[in-house]
Structure 1
């Protein structure tokens, strides 16, 4: 869709707003986890977001039904992209600093390129190879000082697993595309993630018992559910038809930077010099992978 000169600034502002919503969600989740267990938090958030998207899809006239052959790939993608991604992140933030978790997680484009090569036989051009090398260098900058000092945390492994889940889910979505509106696909995936989170909650934590929450925890939970999930997803699908997917994807590169800044201000975290170097290298890696070359621009 061709953009008008009046619509473009508004939609680009929407991309920046979306990146801010998702970036600030990282410290919000960390605060909420102080009093709410990981499985319960994800069960609440994903269920509410899935219901909101389902209602939005019906209001827009999108059908929620899909063919039987598409149910399996949709569920698998939801288990990876939504359930695995969000659950690993919750445990990552319990066991390491939010700033490090967000940096490691956003190696997602690097793993996506690698898995696309392995499972989809997509070519690896020089630009993508550069991105992979930068991403691995960023991981080394983050992890090696911690390993050398004995301060390496399992939380970084969980964050890495979250990025791997997202990448695998993206490959599944591309390998078995679904003939349905993007909002319908997102609804299915979120509700799949919600079912997984509810099952884990009942299995490992039991039925949650209501108890009074601190004001900061309540505000963080409301932000996570209403702003970062429900409103942000609706904003994403409102923006997507009006901007190139590449620009929308590049806008999400702001998420880790905003997440680190939010953790510094709201959580009083103090990232090290190597953390910032890792952030820069991984951001450059994603930029290298997401920016189109001449060939990809033509495609």
Structure 2
């Protein structure tokens, strides 16, 4: 049954805003945790614990964790792109670039999704989407131009861009080869796929982690990342999604970069420049243009 915006309860709409806060505050939390935990190990811990927790939640709900053989390959590919690539690229992005800039560059995701959907799915590129792509590219130019002029463009922002591209490619894979399974089951396997990739990278590049005492802020940041930004956020997402239109839920994520930039300013002491704010506004408008339904679009 189609869910309309007017039929959604205020409590469910509030859940969309809570999700944006959960994910927005996750950016400084990750930055703090990476001060003492190496990136491969950090992602291995977070994705493994979150994947196991969601799998247990799926079983408690009575969902089956099995998928058909023909769905295994696209499920793993989507997990590698949407979870492993996205999270690992962002971990290195935050190590090498200011969090406020990394979050803005990463949230060009809808722009790349539109471009890849045109290339790989032959989806039409209407005027609304073209405006969104143009605004997104203008936002990137606004962010990059002063950095290029001053020679301050670093590889961290390239990692952030790769994270957004990886997520967009994963969304195209998910759309091209949809999985006939419960959403929590799909999310669980994708997280565990990302965890397996992170564990492999950890063993290859960092070795078996050696326990050492961590600062209280690091422990709290890690707990927030796993418990709130991954487990609770996923469970909340799947709890409210049946009660609000997907478009409304997606538009709610537009608050994430603004919250990420604001929280990085308050918690990390970062000071975004005027061009950072211009880039944030342009990229937010780009996502808004892409995510808003077209007036001529047929009802779902």
TM-score range relative to shorter protein: over 0.9
* TM-score under structure 1 length normalisation: 0.98
Structural mapping, 1:1-299, within 5 Å: 1=1, 2=3, 8-299=9-300
1:211-239 deviation line (CA, Å, top 9, x unaligned): 00111111111101111111111111101
1:11-46 deviation line (CA, Å, top 9, x unaligned): 010000010000000000000000000000000000
Runs of 4+ in structure 1 displaced over 4 angstroms?
A: 1-7
Once the two structures are TM-superposed, the CA of residue 61 in structure 1 deviates from its matched residue by 1.0
- Over 3 Å counting, the alpha-carbon distance change for 1:209 and 1:133 in structure 2 is same
Q: Matches of 1:151 and 1:273 in 2, distance apart?
A: 16
Q: Matches of 1:66 and 1:7 in 2, distance apart?
A: 31
Number of corresponding residues: 299
Q: Matches of 2:129 and 2:202 in 1, distance apart?
A: 39
- Over 3 Å counting, the alpha-carbon distance change for 1:168 and 1:6 in structure 2 is closer
Moved more, 137-146 or 178-187: 178-187
* TM-score under structure 2 length normalisation: 0.98
Once the two structures are TM-superposed, the CA of residue 294 in structure 1 deviates from its matched residue by 1.9
Once the two structures are TM-superposed, the CA of residue 3 in structure 1 deviates from its matched residue by 6.5
Q: Which runs of 5+ in 1 are unaligned?
A: none
Partner of 2:9, secondary structure, is helix
1:33-67 deviation line (CA, Å, top 9, x unaligned): 00000000000000011011101111111111001
Once the two structures are TM-superposed, the CA of residue 98 in structure 1 deviates from its matched residue by 0.1
1:195-223 deviation line (CA, Å, top 9, x unaligned): 00000001000110110011111111110
Q: Matches of 2:4 and 2:278 in 1, distance apart?
A: 36
Once the two structures are TM-superposed, the CA of residue 298 in structure 1 deviates from its matched residue by 2.4
1:223-282 deviation line (CA, Å, top 9, x unaligned): 011111111111111011110000000000000000000000000000000000000000
Q: Matches of 1:132 and 1:72 in 2, distance apart?
A: 30
Partner of 1:87, secondary structure, is helix
